[in-house]
Structure 1
Amino acid sequence: MTPPPGWYRDPDAPHQERWWDGRAWTEHRRAPGAPGQPSVSPPAGARPSRAKAVALVAAGAVLVAAVVTGAVLLDRDDTDGGPADTAGGTPSAPPTSAPATTGSPSPASSADEPTAPDDDPSVAVDQLNGITLPLPEGWEKPENVAQDDVVMTTHGVYDCPAGVGFCRHGLVITRTASAAEGASPETLAKRDIDDATDEAYEQNVIGQRLYGGITSQRTVASGQVAVAGRAGYFVRRLVRTAKGPGGYVESLVFPSSTGIQAPVLVRFVFDAGPDGPPLADMDRITKGIRPVGDAASSGGVGSSIGPSS
């Protein structure tokens, strides 16, 4: 299926023709249409006889007809970089197609293509509120989670301390905070922490007391915090339960960077004890919150607090 010896358009210099000896390109070149063959003859045994040349011409004509009627494509030899046959060419005339190349370009790898936020394994995404949250080690995107608005969980489940259902050692929940016009992040966080604590460790949304109920709770930290360069506020509580080690609950509120800058509420629920996630993960996740599409945005614990609008 290799084209016969002849002058063809040079794949490396399309303004010239180059001699193809039937197996590989030679170093002989000429201006298009110049008479004669190369001054150095092909190696002995490689020169076709006149009868063979006629036969090759006839074969070329048959192949041309097959290309026109049957769309037959002749592959060139990729190793030697040989010319490809075309519908309008013969062994003695330059092909009319674009010059052959020495290799096909490789398809772009997936690593060269931009990654959509939802497909990025290193972050959780809340498209509604326009934020991404980093996934620390030991955390994953939610699977088979019945509770609404959960954006990440710790790996695996365990039997709840009260013997009812299955629990997880850590949850992070995001939603748009319900707020009266003009309510500050501080007001909203202080208002939410009671509901967040009750839903996490007292009684869940379907009426189950997974930890036997709350026996005591106290605020262990609160204050202003910058989230993606915006002024937010958090309240964190330590909760003791009738069964199990209890846990920590935090309500974090900050203005969204999208739309009308509605307040974003992030709830953290971490089991206490050796099986719970590191409490420092709350700060790591807060510090890593970014607007969708803005990985370079500043913000987080210890950052200067930016304007709220």
Structure 2
Amino acid sequence: MTQTSPPGWHPDPGYTGFGPIQERWWDGTQWTDQLRVPPAALRSRRIRIGAGITAAVVVLAAIGGGVYLLSDDSGTTGNSATAPSSSPSPAPSRPGAPGGSGGDGGGETPEQQQPQTEDGYATDMASGISIPVPDGWTGESGMGAGVTTGTYACPGDSGEKCVRGGVFSVPAAALKLTTKTAKATAEKDIATNAEESYGEKIYGGITSHEQLKSEAVTVAGRQGYRVRWKVVTKNGDDGYVESLAFPSPQAADMLIVVRSGFDINPKAPGLSVLDDITKGIKAASGAGSGPGTNA
């Protein structure tokens, strides 16, 4: 195609193969600095940790001692920086704003320097945060980030792999959460988190839950909010699930959701580990920061 191709979102020509591909905005004459997570990737990528986590980007969404299933349905592209040949897509309503393309492209990153990975952390490039990886755990970085313990055969299906615990992050928009404050977002997400972690056939569903925490908390220098439940399942281990929400260090108007879940089992990590992980979450190296906080 020529340099007269119409404006639109297209696969990033600078994609290096690390993490799921992003889309970059073509303004009709050149590639801009605006990036986003493709809406299709946000909705079709499914990760299960805790009996079934529907997630959005890379290893995000919920966890718990549950199914760890990552389907690879991301697209591929070359690295040529030529003009796009596909038809144009809607322009962002505001450059770099979450949900900019008519509310359908949740997870766009601000027009800033992209976050970088670093040793000892799993970096969420969409949200601009890094999650510490405890000793013996595995961390995965990308458009969303996650840290998990080792796997084991799931109680309801030995053919599936479960994890004793894990912590995952994702932009709130990727989970279709439209609440405006950290508190409202955490309160709304916790039930979905619990259901997707322990509510499917692996655990036979949740019979009851007890709220253990509902409180403000500072994360990565931002004012956030967390809700923690203890859930009782029909089959297998019971578990702890937590939904934590706070503004991104790189964009105060972008809320991040960190879903956590731990089996209640002698082989599972204790809740003190979850607290340590939360305290260790920080702005990703190379990510910009903006003023303002949400309560």
CA distance in structure 1 between the partners assigned to 2:146 and 2:133 by the alignment: 10
* 1:239 equivalent in alignment to 2:214: no
Amino acid at match of 1:163: D
Deviations 1:185-243 (A, max 9, x none): 1101000001000000002xxxxx11122121111111000011111000000011111
Pick from 177, 192, 196 the counterpart of residue 195 of structure 1.
192
Relative to 1, partners in 2 of residues 1:117 and 1:150: Cα closer, same or farther, differing over 3 Å? closer
Change (3 A) 1:255 1:139: same
Structure 1 segment 1-309 matched on structure 2, within 5 A? 117-118=116-117, 120-142=118-140, 149=144, 151-155=146-150, 157-164=151-158, 165-178=160-173, 179-180=177-178, 183-203=180-200, 209-259=201-251, 261-293=253-285, 308=293
Provide TM-score, normalisation by structure 1.
Answer: 0.52
The structure carrying a bigger helix percent of its residues is 1
| Structure showing greater Rg | 1
1:138 positional shift: 2.8
Distance in 1, matches of 2:204 and 2:195, equals 12
Q: Report if aligned partners of 1:229, 1:307 keep a CA contact under 8 Å in 2.
A: no
Which stretch shows the higher mean deviation, 162-171 or 272-281? Answer: 162-171
Cα deviation, 1:50-78, whole Å, max 9, x if unaligned, reads: xxxxxxxxxxxxxxxxxxxxxxxxxxxxx
Contact 2:194 2:241 (8 Å CA) reproduced = yes
In the TM superposition, what is the alpha-carbon distance from 1:150 to its structure 2 partner? Answer: 5.2
SS of residue in 1 equivalent to 2:203: coil
Asked whether the 8 Å contact 2:244–2:258 carries over to 1, the reply is yes
Work out which structure has the larger RCO, using CA pairs closer than 8 Å and 6 or more positions apart in sequence.
2
String of CA shifts for 1:274-298, please: whole Å, max 9, x gaps: 0111211111111111111279x9x
Tell me how far apart the structure 1 counterparts of residues 219 and 147 of structure 2 sit (CA, whole Å). Answer: 18
The residue identity in structure 2 corresponding to 1:192 is D
User: TM-score normalized by structure 2?
Assistant: 0.54
- C-alpha separation in 1, matches of 2:127 and 2:138: 20
Deviates more, 1:237-246 or 1:159-168: 159-168
Deviations 1:19-43 (A, max 9, x none): xxxxxxxxxxxxxxxxxxxxxxxxx
**Contact residue 117 and residue 123 of structure 1 kept, 8 A:** no
| 1:234-262 Cα deviation digits (max 9, x unpaired) | 00000111112211000000001213530
Structure 1 residues 202 and 268: CA distance shift in structure 2, 3 A = same
Output the CA distance in 1 between the equivalents of 2:140 and 2:127.
18
Identity across matched positions, percent: 38
Question: Which segments of structure 1 move beyond 6 Å, counting only runs of 4 or more?
Answer: none
Give, as a single letter, the amino acid of the residue that structure 2 aligns with 1:239.
V
Q: Which segments of 5 or more consecutive residues in structure 2 lack a partner in the other structure?
A: 1-114
Aligned in 2, Cα 1:150/1:260: closer, same or farther, shift over 3 Å? closer
One-letter amino acid of the structure 2 residue matched with residue 187 of structure 1: A
User: What is the root-mean-square deviation of aligned Cα atoms in Å?
Assistant: 2.6
